[in-house]
Structures are given as structure tokens and as C-alpha cells.
Structure 1
Amino acid sequence: MKKNLVLIGAALALSSCSLISRPADPVTVTVMGLNDFHGNLEASNFSGVMIPDPADPTKQIRLKAGGIETIGGYLDQERANNPNLVFVGGGDLIGASPVTSSLLRDEPTTLALSRLGMQFSALGNHEFDQGLKELLRMQNGGCDSNDTAKACKFENPYPGAGFKWLGANVVDKTTQKPVFAPYGVQEIGGAKIGFIGADLKATPTIVNPSGITTLDFLDEASSINRYVPELRKMKVDAIIVLIHQGGVAKDGFAAPACGSLTGPIVDIVNKLDPAISAVISGHTHQGYSCVVKGIPVIQGDFYGHLLQRLDVTVDKANHKVLSVSAANVVMDPRTLPKNAAMTALLTRAQTLTNAVKGTPVGTLAQASISRTNNAAGESALGDVIADSQLAATRANGAVIAFMNPGGIRADLTASAAGNTATFGDLFTVQPFGNTMVVMDLTGAQIKALLEQQFDNPEAGSSRILQVSKGFAYSYDSTAAKGSRVEAASIKLNGETLDPARTYRVTMNAFLSTGGDNFLAFKDGTNVLQLPNLPDVDALDAYIKANPGLTGGAQDRITRIK
């Protein structure tokens, strides 16, 4: 008996020794994050910083920020300051991209980010724009694309991404196993940093469902937490979440440790395991650096205007985080160096696409037509696009056209002399390559469709469809669910819609399958697919047919209150 007691005592003594911390062995790792890049290889207007107009110093214009050359130059500079730097992504690195990248199937973008040393990125909803098979090709390489006219034209064969997309909550419907790696570990400077990736669970409602039929998108927080124990067993020194979901903060991108963050990301972070050290977020195209439940949560605007910076000091000996500082850094081409390899890559992409990009289409009445919505949710450019789609499908019997506002990616700005819009200008507005669809809906179904604008969990608020000329209605946003649109106000060419009558309507392929939760389209009949009529071609034809085009009058939708 005495012998047993001695053994137990010895075991307790050893256990107590194991709880004593070793002398600290600190190292600082710099984590740079890029979210919602959308293939913007070139700098673009950043609303967060205004500068004097070179043509008139008394006026202010937006800073042109970002661009792969400047991002690369900044990373070079910071690696020289701290070689312990990890470059990661917050999703939507590709998809909805300008001509320079998208006409080459976004291969220049994945190759640029790979050559800049990106290690991991969260999956974003736009990574799935062309379906799972194409995304796997983007990850793994090859030329077996669903668009062989664009694939492998930049580099043949396309070698695949040098970084890993992560998706802890993106699983196969049958096996419920992740289709992409759920997490990755980067060893640098003797430290081990774990990264867990997740996409927003509402992805199926905002991408073409036909491309992701084999996938489930699970709850973000529980999926992330599932892999924390595995990483802790690997004795990582910090765990950082890369998630394509975000929120909104009123403090702005430069405010440190803001406390005003709202939106889906807050609910997710509040459910995360306390072992999470920081969260790099995306999707909402906001710039913020906030703290939720003691965890830094940061997002860097979009298009590469900002890089998210986390300086994480860890104790390698005891596998714990000592401190995390967070800040957004403006990618200002005026003050930052350029990366020569990225200049060469960008030049090649431009050379391969400039001929198409610069093709003149037609003239606008002014330099730009805005996509900014009025109080009712209608935009001048939304009117134009809906009109173009109706014009392109009148021969198919269409009398009404609907356009989702999320598919309008930029103002239509004429880049050539004399307010001449080029194909590149149009493509910047509508880069998805959505084809047109025509179907029959009854007046009652159209009423149900309009009500779905106000019951959209992904949007977090109303998502107002843009409508063609001749169609009009009024709504009361304070009325009860299902009764916000006044039935008597829904009119086509001044005549109230008959609930029982059938109307021929036009929309893009994304909407036709219930995209953006507009499920009423799925009930349409006599569906006609127009695979040879992309939305951008409809807009192209409309601008050519209407020289000196002006924006719509924004008088088709009326908000009562």
C-alpha cells in the first residue's frame, strides 16, 4: 500500500512540474490580410481617402488605391522589416472581376497572389461563381475549364493556386466532409500560426445554385470551433479565423479597437471558442478594425484598397498569444514602392485584354451613370440595365425586366474621349457573364416576387430589384410582412396587373434559379434560356442603339414610407 502511495505522489509531483511555464520565448508574426479583391489587378477609386484634384487643387477627388504592384511593393517592404510575415485572404479574391482578370478566367489574379506568397484564404461566395468544378481547377490547375476560350490563355498550362482555399463549413452533401481543407498551419520564425477558414452559410442564396448542388454550407461558428481542438493538439501558438462574412462599423477603417460593429460577424464571433486570437473578415466591403468579445475583428474595404494588418506576438515556449495589434493600411501608390514582378504580370494581362477592353461601344450624355440608389432603392444605372434587358428580349415576348442590384458592380463610367463608353467600361459594371432568361409569371407571382424584396435574410435589409420602363409600383416598408407592396399600385404601362393573367418577364440566369432568395422566379413557366445572350451584350446593344444615353429617371418605384 505504501508503494502505491509513493507512486501516486511522484505522479502528482511530475504533473505539477508540467504546469510551470517555461521562460517566455516571444516572436512577433505580421499577418497581412486581403479581402474582396475581386481580381482588381489595377488600382481603383477608394472613397476612404480624398486628395486634391491635380486638375483643380480647390477640389477633392478619391484616391486611386490598391493594385497588385502596390500590394506587392508593400509586402516586400514589410518582409524586409519583419521576415516573419504571413499573407492570407478573406475570400472573394476572384469573381466579379474587371476585364483584365476575368477575360483570362481570373488566372492572373491567382498567380499574382501566389507569387506574392499568399498561404491561405477563406472561400468566398464569388469563388463559386463558376461552380465547384471550376473552383477546384483554380485551386489545382489544368485547362479542363467550363470556359475554354478564357482558360490557360495567360499561362498554359495553368499551374493552379500556390495558396490553399480553406472552408471548414463547406462540406459534401453526402459525406459531410469538407471539400477544401478546413484549416492550415504556417510555421514561421519558430512560431506555429493556425488559420481556420469559413464561407458565409448563406452562399447558396447568392450564387447560381446549379454550380454547388453537391455542397452544404454549415453554420460558421460551430464549424470553426470544431477544428480548434485539433489545432491545440498540434500546439499552435495562435489561431486566426479567416471568414468571408462581415458587418458594418460607423467608426471608419482607421479607428482603432472600434466598438460599433454590427451585423452577422458579431453573432459569429460571440460564439467562437476563446482560443481564437483574431478574425480577418470580408464580404460586406467595409473598412473597420474592431473588437468583439475581446477578439480583434478586422476588414479591409474591398478591391485591395486596404490591407488588414495583425501584429501577433506569441510565446513559442508556452504556445500562447502575448498581444495582438490590428490596423488597416492604405495601399497608396503615391507613397509605396512597386513590385517589379507584379508590374510585368499586370502588363502581360493588359496586353492580352486591352484590345477587347478598349473597343468603343457608344456615347453617354455625361461622364458617368450612377448605380447609387434613391430612397426607394432605384438607381439611374439600374433603370438603364433593366431597359437594356427588356429591349434585348422583346422579340421573345418580354414585357417586364428585373435586375438584381448586387449584379451591378460599378457606376458606368465612360473612359474614352467624348464620353464614349468602351466594352471594358460595360464589363466592369456587369462582369458575371450571366445570360438572359425569359419566363411567364402571373400577376400574383409578380406581387409575391416584389414582397420577397423585403424578406431577404442575406441582404440584412431590403434588396430592391431594378425594373424596366413602363413597370411601376409603390411600397410601404413599415407595413406587415407580405403586405408591403400595394397590389393596386403594380402597373404595366399604366394598367394594374391582373393577378390571374400571365406576363412574360426577363431576368438573368442567376435570378431565374432563385438567386438572392427571389424564389418566385423558380415558379415561372415556359422558361426560355438564351445562352447566346449575355447581360453585358444586351447592355452593349442598348448603348449602341441609344447614342448620348442618359440615366433612368428613377421614377418607377415609389416608397410611401
Structure 2
Amino acid sequence: MKKLLLAFTVLALPGCASTRMANEAVAPIDIRIIGMNDFHGHLDPPKATIEATDASGAKVRIPSGGVAYLASAIDYLKADAPNNVVVAAGDLIGASPLSSSLFLDEPSIMAMGMVGLEFNAVGNHEFDRGTEELLRMQSGGCDKFTQSEPCRVDKPFPGAKFKMLAANTKKADGSTLFPPFALKNFGAGKTQVTVGFIGMTLEGTSNLVSAGRIKGISFADEADTANALVPQLKAAGADVIVVLVHEGANNSGDINNPKCDGVSGTLFPILDRLDPAVDVVVSGHTHQSYVCDYSHINPARPILLTSAGSRGQVVTGIDLKVDARTGKVLSKSARNIVVQSEAFSNARGEVPLVEGFPVFAPRADLAALASRYREAAKTEANRVVGTLAGPATRDRGKTGESILGNLIADAQLAATAGAENGGAQIAFMNPDGIRADIFPGTDGQVTFGSVFAAQPFGNTLITKTLTGKQIIGVLEQQLNNPDWYRILSPSSGFRFGYDLSRPIGQRIVFATLNGVPLDANASYRVTVSDFLSNGGDGFSVFKDGTNPAVGPTDLEAFMAWLSRGGITALPSLGRVENKTPQ
């Protein structure tokens, strides 16, 4: 709330102490917002790197992540900033590694409280297990809302120490699932500054979550929602307004370039419509790292925009200097800090630590939590469930298909091909549903942990009847968004080609089943996950399919395919052709 200024006269005496005292009394207040997003339950280091620029200007790959190291990085950012707050822009849970997901992400919720998180804007993955289970994540307890048993390690589950915010997540009666905003005060008395935080997920969340898990829930426009709340926040005393939103941008440039070089994406039209009173936007969803002074894009919207990658590999320090008399932000800046953790090795070789960047030590309490849940999951994670002839990766190449995507599609077709299981002729796997590569161990052995990491959602397979024309419509929908082509991996026997130089809606140039072109008027049985069946990832045509048959879960189908006996061969590529003129 703006401070009441008292008018008084100061004598102009040499070295007057009264003037110095007056200046001290109205000194600006410094506030540090510590931002993160898309943690996705990565308690342990993900054995992945972040690209950054070193002091010489060279690009380097830095091993990073792990919640114990993230906690130390956050402590580092707090150390010289007594006025601080830790916030997140969603997807803290969901699509998580086994040590978290096997336990319904309870340890990740507890970990986020331990690192000092205060406010989180729910993202689409927070809804993966349904709204009732999400509410349990906030309030705690051991009520069972999924097939998995809650409170298997810590009982009772205490729930989140932080507040979830969901301004544009509306229930049928118009109320929000969680509070729309929160306030935090810094300083005291006449020098107190209040920061308001609005939390939102992306409006398109309903396209990313199975419909049955968000029954009765709708997601409103992000800019309209935030703008409607600005007067309420001002009336409640907010001097500074920060939006936490689970929507983001892409970045082909450096992670710390405030001029926004290389930053673009679907978040920009939202920023262009935001009330100018918004000072900072902490974003997520795209798993990209960036710092962007948006005035370089739109001078009428001098918003400081940030994002901190994913999996706890990056954390953002956002510094605000605020006039304590007027509540006006005098300056704002941000820097992404890479959470350099520990060296590792993978199939490509050794990945060492990088000099010139901070190396964080694991914080003992978070290391103990991660270890406790890792040990609890170990027996299940190490169970051998099948074989593979070699690595199955998500590498999409020039056409968009992947070996792992094709492998999963083949498994889903096999699980639903029998008349009693749906009579499927074709199966499609969406790339965003594959979350990790699979590297077999000794003698080609594949463990449950690696299979689960690749397919952590527990989706149910649905087989529907679609016409040839509808299948072509599905394939066209892969190519509608130039910022994010979602090329489906088809099962064996199905092939298609596309030409991106043609108009949207006319880009599929051929589609065949067992060498025969699809008949627009013929009917085909097609298997997809229940997520896709309900129109997920923008594939709305799947919703128009008829005569649905419910099959096994995607995980069950995959494990059955890998355990048929002998070494499971890897599928070849070539089911998808990019016919765009080069």
C-alpha cells in the first residue's frame, strides 16, 4: 500500500543531520524473488546438462540438478538478500522419476517445502492424477484417490508447506480451485512494501490432461484473468505485481540475455495484453531458460520475463529495487544460475564439472530425503521386465519420428490387435508422452525403472473407429502449430508423409496401411492413450472416433511387448517422411 508522506521543512544548514536522516528514512528496499519451474519430481540429479556461456564467450555443457543441490543454490541466493521469497511456475510434480512418482510425488511436495518454496502456480502436470489428488497434495492426509497407495513411506503425508495458486482454474460454480493470488510484505512500518503474486496455468491445460481427471474444471484466458485481479491486488495493498504462469517461450539464445535475442513463443501475445501494472512474469512449461526484458519486444510492456528450465537444473534470482514511499519499482534485473551438481557418465562418455561456474554442495536434509525414497523405490526400479537389442531413444531426427516412439506404438498395437482387445489396425504414440530414453543393461535387460521413466503417466489404451478421412485429419493436426510440431510415431505397417511448404490443412501428401492408401470413406480401428482419445495435445479429431474399447495401461502393454521372449528387436525408422522441398 502506498505510504502517506508527511510534509515538513528542513533548514538548509551545512552538514545538516536532519537531511541525512530523512534520506535514510526513505531509502529504497531491495527484494529478491527466487524463481523455478517444471521440477517434475527430480529428487536425484537427472544426469543431464544445461548449456551456458563461459567468461570467454564459449558454449559449455554443465551437469546440473538434484533437489539437494537446488536447495543449496537457493540458500546461496538468499544469503545476501534478507528480503526474499521463493516462487514456482508449475509442474513441480507429474511426469516424475520413479523415486517420486511411485509414491504419488509426496516426497517432491515435501522437498519443495524444505527448500523454502512459498507460492506455486499449478501447471498442467499437477492435474495428472486428478483434482482430488491435487487437493490432497496441498492439504495432506492419506485418502486414496488413485490406484496407488498413498503414505507408503511418510505417514501421514503432511501436505505442502507452500501455497498453490490457481487464478484461472475455475470450478463449475465459478470459484477457483486454489486461491487466485497471495501477498507478501517486506520491511515494516512506513518502509513496508507489499508484493502480490498471481498464479495461473495455461488456458490450454484441458488439452494436456485426460478429461476424466479435470471433470467440472475449466481454464480461463490468462491475460483476462490477471487483468481482472490487478485492481483487487491494488486494493489489497500490493505495490508490486508478479505473475506466475505455467506458459512459456522458446529460446535459441543464451540463458541470460535480457535483450531477448532468440526468445519467442506463445507467451508473447499474453504479455502484450497484460495490464501495464504487472512488473514481473515468472514462466514455465516449455522447459527453457531465459531472462528477457520484454520492453525490447514491446516498449509498452516493460515486463521482466524469466524462466528456469526444468528438473531443478536452473534457478533464477530476480532483484527488485522499490521506492518505499511510492511503491514504484525503480529497477529490476534477473540472472539464471545453473545448479551445477555432480559429474556423471552416460552412453556418450564422461560429463565433467565445468570451471568458472559455482559448484553447489548437496544440502544434507534434502540429500537424506532423496536417499530415503530412492532406497524405497530400488527393489521395484531394478526389477527386470524385458529385453531390448539396444538403446531406444526419443531422438526425433528430421522427420519427427523416433525409435522409442515407434517401439511404443508397436507395443500398443500388439496389446489391442485381438478382436477381444479392440481389434486395432493402427496405433499412434505422441512424442510428449515419452519422458526418457531407455538404455538396456547387461544382456539387453530392461528394468521397470527405465520403462516407467519413459512412460510415467499410467494412461489407459483406447481403441476407436475412425474413417480414413478422420485419420488424415489427425495427421494434419500434427502440423498446425509452427512453434511445436507434434509428429506422431505410427505402428508398424502405417506410413505417411508431409510437406510443410503446403498450406495448413493440406500438408499430408500420403498415408498408407500395409502399402495400401487410406480410403477416406473406409473405417479403421485406431489405438491411442486415453489422453489422446480425449483430444489431448490438440488432437481433437480423436474425440470424434466411435465404438471405444478400453484396453490395458500403456505401461502394461509396453512391458508385455518387451517380455515376449528372446531379445526384443528395435524398430526401424522410415515410417514418417518429410517431403518438404529442401
Same-fold status (TM-score > 0.5):
yes
Partner in structure 1 of residue 219 of structure 2 = 217
Is 2:399 aligned against 1:405? Answer: no
- Pairwise CA RMSD: 2.4
Amino acid aligned to 2:178: F
Partner in structure 2 of residue 150 of structure 1 = 149
Partner in structure 1 of residue 536 of structure 2 = 515
The alpha carbon displacement at 1:177 in A equals 2.7
Q: Give CA deviations for 1:34-91 in whole Å, capped at 9, x if unaligned.
A: 101111111113342499xxxxxxxx99543111100112223333333322111111
Q: Taking structure 1 as the reference length, what is the TM-score of the superposition? A: 0.89
The alpha carbon displacement at 1:27 in A equals 2.4
Is 2:400 aligned against 1:381? Answer: no
Partner in structure 2 of residue 283 of structure 1 = 285
In 2: Cα distance, 1:287 partner to 1:15 partner: 41
Amino acid aligned to 2:168: N
Is 2:447 aligned against 1:445? Answer: no
The alpha carbon displacement at 1:213 in A equals 2.7
Partner in structure 2 of residue 540 of structure 1 = 559
In 1: Cα distance, 2:196 partner to 2:325 partner: 16
In 2: Cα distance, 1:547 partner to 1:350 partner: 30
The alpha carbon displacement at 1:549 in A equals 4.0
Q: Give CA deviations for 1:394-444 in whole Å, capped at 9, x if unaligned.
A: 222212111111101122233x44553211111111110111112222222
Structure-to-structure mapping, 1:61-72, within 5 angstroms: 63-72=62-71
Partner in structure 2 of residue 333 of structure 1 = 341
Is 2:177 aligned against 1:179? Answer: yes
Amino acid aligned to 2:212: S
Is 2:366 aligned against 1:342? Answer: yes
Contact (CA 8 Å) 2:50, 2:63: kept in 1 or not? no
Q: Give CA deviations for 1:117-163 in whole Å, capped at 9, x if unaligned.
A: 21101110111112222211111122223225331213222221111
Q: Give CA deviations for 1:245-303 in whole Å, capped at 9, x if unaligned.
A: 11112222133443442112111112222222211110111111111132211111111
> Percent of counterpart pairs with the same letter?
40
Contact (CA 8 Å) 1:439, 1:525: kept in 2 or not? yes
Contact (CA 8 Å) 1:249, 1:288: kept in 2 or not? yes
The alpha carbon displacement at 1:341 in A equals 1.1
Is 2:321 aligned against 1:313? Answer: yes
Q: Taking structure 2 as the reference length, what is the TM-score of the superposition? A: 0.86
Amino acid aligned to 1:172: K
**SS at 1:433 equivalent:** coil
Contact (CA 8 Å) 1:30, 1:82: kept in 2 or not? yes
In 2: Cα distance, 1:85 partner to 1:422 partner: 43
Contact (CA 8 Å) 1:182, 1:197: kept in 2 or not? yes
In 1: Cα distance, 2:476 partner to 2:267 partner: 27
**SS at 1:454 equivalent:** coil
Amino acid aligned to 2:426: I
**SS at 2:335 equivalent:** strand
Is 2:112 aligned against 1:113? Answer: yes
Contact (CA 8 Å) 2:71, 2:115: kept in 1 or not? yes
Cα 1:104–1:470 change in 2 (3 A) is same
In 1: Cα distance, 2:329 partner to 2:517 partner: 64
Off by >6 Å, runs of 4+ in structure 1: none
Pick one of 444, 456, 460 that aligns with 1:431.
Answer: 456
Is 2:495 aligned against 1:472? Answer: yes
**SS at 1:490 equivalent:** strand
Partner in structure 2 of residue 297 of structure 1 = 305
Amino acid aligned to 2:519: D
In 1: Cα distance, 2:60 partner to 2:252 partner: 22
In 2: Cα distance, 1:516 partner to 1:455 partner: 11
Aligned residues: 529
Contact (CA 8 Å) 1:89, 1:118: kept in 2 or not? yes
Cα 1:84–1:420 change in 2 (3 A) is farther
In 1: Cα distance, 2:147 partner to 2:472 partner: 41
In 2: Cα distance, 1:120 partner to 1:187 partner: 14
In 1: Cα distance, 2:579 partner to 2:78 partner: 56
Amino acid aligned to 2:385: V
Contact (CA 8 Å) 1:398, 1:506: kept in 2 or not? yes
Question: Unpaired runs of 5+ in structure 1?
Answer: 1-13, 52-59
Is 2:386 aligned against 1:362? Answer: yes
Pick one of 474, 480, 486 that aligns with 1:463.
Answer: 486
Contact (CA 8 Å) 2:129, 2:146: kept in 1 or not? no
The alpha carbon displacement at 1:25 in A equals 3.1
Contact (CA 8 Å) 2:70, 2:313: kept in 1 or not? no
Contact (CA 8 Å) 1:137, 1:145: kept in 2 or not? no
In 2: Cα distance, 1:275 partner to 1:105 partner: 38
Partner in structure 2 of residue 139 of structure 1 = 138
Cα 1:227–1:43 change in 2 (3 A) is same
In 1: Cα distance, 2:79 partner to 2:306 partner: 24
Contact (CA 8 Å) 1:237, 1:316: kept in 2 or not? no
Structure-to-structure mapping, 1:522-537, within 5 angstroms: 522-530=543-551, 533-537=552-556
**SS at 1:338 equivalent:** coil
Amino acid aligned to 2:414: A
**SS at 1:239 equivalent:** strand
Moved more, 92-101 or 403-412: 403-412
Partner in structure 2 of residue 54 of structure 1 = none
Partner in structure 1 of residue 19 of structure 2 = none
Pick one of 525, 528, 536 that aligns with 1:504.
Answer: 525
**SS at 1:44 equivalent:** coil
**SS at 1:449 equivalent:** helix
Partner in structure 2 of residue 9 of structure 1 = none
Cα 1:454–1:262 change in 2 (3 A) is same
Partner in structure 2 of residue 159 of structure 1 = 158
Contact (CA 8 Å) 1:270, 1:292: kept in 2 or not? no
Cα 1:223–1:61 change in 2 (3 A) is closer
In 2: Cα distance, 1:274 partner to 1:46 partner: 38
**SS at 2:203 equivalent:** coil
In 2: Cα distance, 1:501 partner to 1:557 partner: 22
Partner in structure 2 of residue 560 of structure 1 = 579
In 1: Cα distance, 2:258 partner to 2:60 partner: 25
Cα 1:252–1:417 change in 2 (3 A) is farther
Structure-to-structure mapping, 1:251-290, within 5 angstroms: 251-290=253-292
The alpha carbon displacement at 1:550 in A equals 4.9
